[in-house]
Amino acid sequence: MEEIVSSEKVIASNEFVVGSVPTVLYIPDYITAAEEDQLLNNIYQAPISKWKSLKNRRLQNWGGVVHEKGLLAQDLPPWLKLVTNRIYEESRLFPSAINHVLINEYLPDQGIMPHQDGPAYVPVVAILSLGSPVVMDFVPHPSFCGTPTDISGNNNEDIISKPENIEMSSGEYLSEYCPFSVALMPRSLLIFKDKAYSDFLHGIKIVSFSDMMSEAQLAHMVSGLNIDGEAGDDNVIHRTATRVSLTCRVVTKVHKHLIKL
Ligand SMILES: O=C(O)CCC(=O)C(=O)O
Ligand SMILES: [Fe+2]
């Protein structure tokens, strides 16, 4: 990984933009298989007490405790700093070094309910996917469509906040606020910000990947897979393995831990 860091590659935003909602970037094969293995090794070397089990996923919290008023910070471990610094330097989309990482682990039938990330974070998120493919769905925030959306089930750092000053015709709404999905392949990096962050909820369905493929016919898929009905076997992907993701973000208000944990 160090070699790649030193090459100072820059993620050219327009090359990786997917879909029409500002702004979603999808970078396939952002890391190599060897780097993926190394990250998984480090993640699974963490003590069992580092995992917090939720109904539909397990998670590790790195970087400290996020409160609405900021971050009670703890340094990221070197193996995480390596990858987050690389994302920070190459994306040039974060105002400062990434200081918070949530690692989520999903079994094949697990997911995360549609949610918006909490207000403590700078509104840019980078998600590195490991292990198994998954589809991330983006749906307009309920205040844009008046339809009920299940917004429960996420961890308590993420809350729903109501966008303000929404004034648009139904035509404008339809063109700007269509749900869409992004296929997240292992080793890919997804970055989203702007409207995709503020006006949409994101989530992963709690069903198998193959169910999702037939159910939605991938109508709104904006990245990753050949979704042609004629697609050959190569394009059939089954979500049979565990997926692990690194959600990398910045909290600008930082309070140092007085007590070392
Ligand atoms: O696992 C993912 O890809 C998404 C995780 C997420 O949305 C979050 O941690 O807020
Ligand atoms: Fe999220």
ipTM reported for the complex, 2 dp: 0.99
Confirm if 210 and 239 have CB atoms less than 8 A apart. yes
Nearest CA to ligand 1 atom 10: 117
pLDDT for residue 170 is more than 70: no
Residue 166 has pLDDT above 70, yes or no: no
| Proximal ligand: closest to the CA of 200 | 2
* 112 Cα to the center of ligand 2, angstroms: 8
Amino acid at 212: M
Using pLDDT thresholds of 50, 70 and 90, give the confidence band for residue 157.
very low
Spacing, Cα 138 to ligand 1 middle (Å): 12
DSSP reduced 3-state for 30:
coil
Q: What mean pLDDT is predicted for residues 117-141?
A: 94
Which ligand 1 atom is the nearest neighbour of the CA of 203? 7
Per-residue pLDDT, averaged over 145-170, amounts to 44
- Ligand 2 centre to CA of 175 (Å) is 24
In sign, the C-alpha dihedral spanning 29, 30, 34, 36 is negative
Residues with C-beta less than 6 Å from any ligand 1 atom? 102, 104, 112, 117, 127, 136, 158, 202, 245, 247
What is the number of other CB atoms lying within 10 angstroms of the CB of residue 133? 19
pLDDT of residue 54 exceeding 60: yes
* Separation of CA 142 and ligand 2 centre (Å): 16
Is residue 84 a contact partner of residue 77, using CB atoms and an 8 Å limit? no
Q: How confident is the model at residue 207 (pLDDT cuts 50, 70, 90)?
A: confident
- CA of 242 from ligand 1 middle (Å) equals 14
Angstrom distance (rounded) from CA 43 to CA 117: 22
200-204 and 112-115: which strand pairing?
A: antiparallel
Establish how many alpha carbons lie within 13 A of residue 197's alpha carbon, considering only the half-sphere containing its beta carbon. Answer: 19
> For the residues of 82-147, what is the DSSP string, one character each?
HHHHHHHHHH--SSS---EEEEEEE-TT--EEEE---TTB-SEEEEEEESS-EEEEEEE-HHHH--
Which atom in ligand 1 lies closest to the alpha carbon of residue 243? 1
Question: Binning pLDDT at 50, 70 and 90, where does residue 3 land?
Answer: very low
Q: Of 142 and 144, which is predicted with more confidence?
A: 142
Taking only the tens place, the pLDDT of each residue in 12-36 is 668 899 998 999 999 999 999 999 9
Q: Sign of torsion, CA 173 197 91 243?
A: negative
State which of 57, 98, 102 you would mutate to test the pocket of ligand 1, scoring each by most atoms of that ligand within 8 A of its C-beta.
Answer: 102
Q: Which residue's CA is minimally distant from atom 5 of ligand 1?
A: 247
